[in-house]
Structure 1
């Protein structure tokens, strides 16, 4: 009878723990646990700690106090405490708890080590991570799929693909997660050939693997390849998720593939997929960069919730279309909505003011960024301000801004401002100032644009000897000019053209290009498009 009563009490206490919704409820359940004689019950204590790990309702400090009063914590309790500190991103505490576990003679299990490995990955402490890897080898847990995958993630986080490949090859069994992490890791460091090799060799391709490869292409500016891979995905039964759609919309935006972008929008409507803030932002960015600012603004106005990235996309869209007044008005609406701008917001605003010839307004925005929002100007901000002032013919003021760039900045960061200054000097025919800027750029970087701009300036001023000298100097220093590149979308297929290529198009192909251009000049806005999944 006593045993039945004890079992009932234990069950009631555990049910009470499961029903906790805030710290007040937890404290009541905590008292009930101890008054019922369950103060040493490892499962009950682990449930108390687990609730404290909840970022919404729990309290890590309360969990730590509770943990310190447990005389002999079990491995399960240690694991719960490790998980709690990791969920709160208290990485040093995570390592401390693990150290305490070893000091008390406890042997970690296959649930313990992934928590520690994840902490090492977030801290990007490669030395500590390698020590943990050694411990995993010593305890024989590398063969465990969760430990192995955690180690692969850790090495990928520190861009050590050699270490990641070693763990991957040593794992006796692999999951879809293993392949996905390797693809993402190689794409992150720009090794797209290796990423594609892993993609092609993956025994099973789920949505995550497709998404990792498509995202890898887009993040490395291989937009056409990412778009083509999405076409291949259409042959499978796998339905794209939000992340894949965002990547594809980004590719459409950079390629100017409006037809495909409209098809994606129509596809989203057919799937009845809710337009999240992230998806809506992708559509807004795509429409703005493809020249359909009215469609972008229509989507923006329909949104019930907007984050900083969404506001930035719309302001940037107005900036690239030269609507400085509209961009500033939108910024005022953003402030009224109590959405805090970031450094990207101000880059978009400076660009808008620069394209619209609004130097005074741009400098007021610069002052507001520094004084009201306490945002430290970066090289991009200085470059935009220099461009803003130089376009307005305020060259002395622009030079003063360049001199304000911190001396600790990297040469490439300082070069951004000098390039903007040089370009404006060339546009205004300021040969002497252009030579000063060019000389500074020769010291900071090795870029063909400096030679070309200065050569063109000399040629326009009738100084053909100086123009030839600049071209010869460029050739003697082994600086090569990157060829120009353009693209056009024909029948939902994007074709790229590189300056200097010897192509012999047929007359019907030329006619097709002309018809496509005409169609875009008189675009009707219809969204009835078929998405071709063949490679043209």
Structure 2
């Protein structure tokens, strides 16, 4: 047949051959059709897919194409499917839906491919209305056993936020594969239903690497990095081969948790598995090392990268900033600009953090100005928050307040919270009260703001006002978050809360503290009881001080780690002034480097000094 068609085509004049094979409009198609009729040449010379493509979007021309294609031996739906696929993948996927409607008007019977292409268009448009119509067609024509279609329908409902419908479809599916389960888990995670997603994951009859990776990522995004690490260890134990996406997910969990040992092991695995050149993996490694307090390793990864993205540069700048290396952060930025890499908003957040943490007010002002002037970056609320933090830390509280009043965006809780933090450091009660009034509206359940105001009153010995704030917290159901510190030893995370005496080594921890205290007092240490903002006796205040969670974690680390090794502690709140002073002395007494990550930044205590230079 192909030989006959080819010879028939070549018997036509060249102009006619071009017209028959390369028409670009319905008019040219009709001209080619007429020429074939006049010359008694077979209609089969006209490419059927071209007939469909030029006539698909016009009702009158579609009717003509439908009649014309009836003369071909090929099933019409096969021809139209090719056109549907092209339209579904085009910049105008709705055209595929319009074409499908015409096919139904002319009673062209769809097949499973027809449904798949139209579902693809609905997915691109997030069009669940037409998706439901296709769902009905799938049922009507008996395509329920087609797993690809069923999974596409599940995915469409999930993308459109119709999780109850997706669950119903899932429950009624005559059969399911691992993709079906993965689709449900993906959309439950995206909708914020972590427990529901974990329930599906637990019931899966079969899991693949995607299933495990999604659940680890979900743990990280939902603030459950410990559970994410446990899942990875379980995955590793049963021999599931991880990929680059898994590595990124578990490294993110390690970063949040401060699990340096596991993070380093994953780093080595990445090198062996050929992921060492993956930019996303390397960027996550930088972030992991930074957040685990291992700045030198982060630097090494950064310097060895063959290709760096703006994410790489921004992560390094931010890492240097929170570790107290402001000047180096600014040098890295200059190097980045010299290499022609354009900064983004995240880059400037890192730079402003660097200036804020080291009191570089003039530099911070300059960076904030040049964001828009030189790089066309419109400041977001985070940038305004950084500037308020910069002014507030530096004691320029009136300037910070004026900056807030002149913001083009409505200040959020972070902005007013930055001012409140500065008010505590610089003991400005009036502005603290104003900041708290705004915070009570913007973030009424955040315990930190009430505590700061209460502490400001207590420092001024305004005990009645402090008590009033505590009573207000109680009436509003706001509970104070207890100080909690964690330390990882031999792959196990040990957590301590303030005043904790439940640990199996509690007695040894207490003895270690008493020994350290004797040495510290010989070096002039005096407990800074001003940070205990309770109206109690001095001895009672000292007792509270000695039970701070980071002190317990430090003593535990000294008992259970080799001499000379670095001790790394993670704390959920800000390190207090007394713990800061004590840790500086202890670092010199025990000749150990002590790295503490608190809520705001890193403190690297070494030889009696801290990397923050006492500005935090």
Give the alignment's TM-score, normalised by structure 1. Answer: 0.80
Aligned to 2:491: 492
Indicate which of 316, 324, 327 corresponds to 2:326: 324
Aligned to 2:65: 71
Gaps of 5+ in 2: 10-17, 33-41, 70-75, 510-554, 568-591, 594-616
**Residue 241 of structure 1: CA displacement?**
0.4
Decide which structure has the larger Cα Rg and report it: 2
CA change 1:397–1:476 in 2 (3 A) is same
Q: Is the 8 A contact 1:362 1:388 kept in 2?
A: yes
Aligned to 2:532: none
**Residue 509 of structure 1: CA displacement?**
8.1
Q: Bigger shift: 104-113 or 356-365? A: 104-113
CA change 1:137–1:368 in 2 (3 A) is farther
Q: Is the 8 A contact 1:187 1:217 kept in 2?
A: no
Aligned to 2:473: 474
Deviations 1:46-78 (A, max 9, x none): 9xx8xxxxxxxxxxx9x999xx99934743444
Deviations 1:317-352 (A, max 9, x none): 112112222222222333333333332222222112
**Residue 99 of structure 1: CA displacement?**
4.3
Aligned to 1:57: none
CA change 1:427–1:136 in 2 (3 A) is farther
Aligned to 1:216: 218
Q: Is the 8 A contact 1:387 1:424 kept in 2?
A: yes
Indicate which of 426, 429, 432 corresponds to 1:431: 429
Deviations 1:172-214 (A, max 9, x none): 1111111111122222233233222222221212211111211
**Residue 43 of structure 1: CA displacement?**
6.0
Q: Bigger shift: 350-359 or 492-501? A: 492-501
Q: Is the 8 A contact 2:57 2:98 kept in 1?
A: no
Structure-1 separation of matches of 2:508 and 2:249: 30
Gaps of 5+ in 1: 11-26, 50-60, 524-536
Q: Bigger shift: 69-78 or 321-330? A: 69-78
Structure-1 separation of matches of 2:400 and 2:461: 27
Please tell me the root mean square deviation across aligned C-alpha atoms, in Å. Answer: 3.4
Structure-2 separation of matches of 1:9 and 1:326: 76
Structure-1 separation of matches of 2:475 and 2:300: 53
Aligned to 1:441: 439
Indicate which of 414, 435, 454 corresponds to 2:412: 414
Aligned to 1:254: 256
The reply on whether 1:276 has 2:278 as its aligned counterpart is yes
- SS of the residue 1:480 aligns to: coil
CA change 1:145–1:438 in 2 (3 A) is same
CA change 1:477–1:87 in 2 (3 A) is same
Deviations 1:424-445 (A, max 9, x none): 1111111111111111112222
Deviations 1:2-22 (A, max 9, x none): 863546999xxxxxxxxxxxx
Deviations 1:207-254 (A, max 9, x none): 111112112212212101110111111222321100001001001111
Structure-2 separation of matches of 1:244 and 1:3: 51
Q: Bigger shift: 398-407 or 143-152? A: 398-407
Structure-2 separation of matches of 1:301 and 1:8: 65
CA change 1:135–1:372 in 2 (3 A) is farther
Give the alignment's TM-score, normalised by structure 2. Answer: 0.71
Aligned to 1:513: 557
CA change 1:71–1:162 in 2 (3 A) is same
Q: Is the 8 A contact 1:110 1:146 kept in 2?
A: no
Q: Is the 8 A contact 1:379 1:405 kept in 2?
A: no
CA change 1:501–1:94 in 2 (3 A) is farther
CA change 1:91–1:394 in 2 (3 A) is farther
Q: How many residues align?
A: 486
